[in-house]
Amino acid sequence: MPYQYDKLRGRIIEKYGTQGNFAKALGLSSNSVSKKLNCRTGFTQEEMNKWAELLDIDLKDYPAYFFA
C-alpha cells in the first residue's frame, strides 16, 4: 500500500501556499514534487531532511509526514 502524504501536502500549503511555490523553494519542478507526493518516486534521506527543513518538521515528526 502506498504512503499517504495528505499531512505533508497540508503542511506545504500552510507554509508555501501552493505546491508550485514549494517546488521553487526546493529548486525542483512542480512535476518532481508531484511525483513524490503521488508515490511515483521515493524520497532519499537527504530529500526528507531538505523538505523537513523547509517545512519546519522536527525529526520526531517524520513518521507522521513521510511514513503515513
CA 62 to chain centre: 11
CATH number, domain 6-66 = 1.10.260
Q: Is the pLDDT of residue 1 over 80?
A: no
Hey, where are the domains in the chain? Answer: 6-66
pLDDT for the residue numbered 2? 85
Q: What is the pLDDT of residues 12-45, one digit of tens each?
A: 999 999 999 999 999 999 999 999 999 999 999 9
Three cell numbers written together for 15: 507554509
pLDDT for the residue numbered 53? 98
Residue 29 and residue 58: Cα distance in Å, rounded? 25
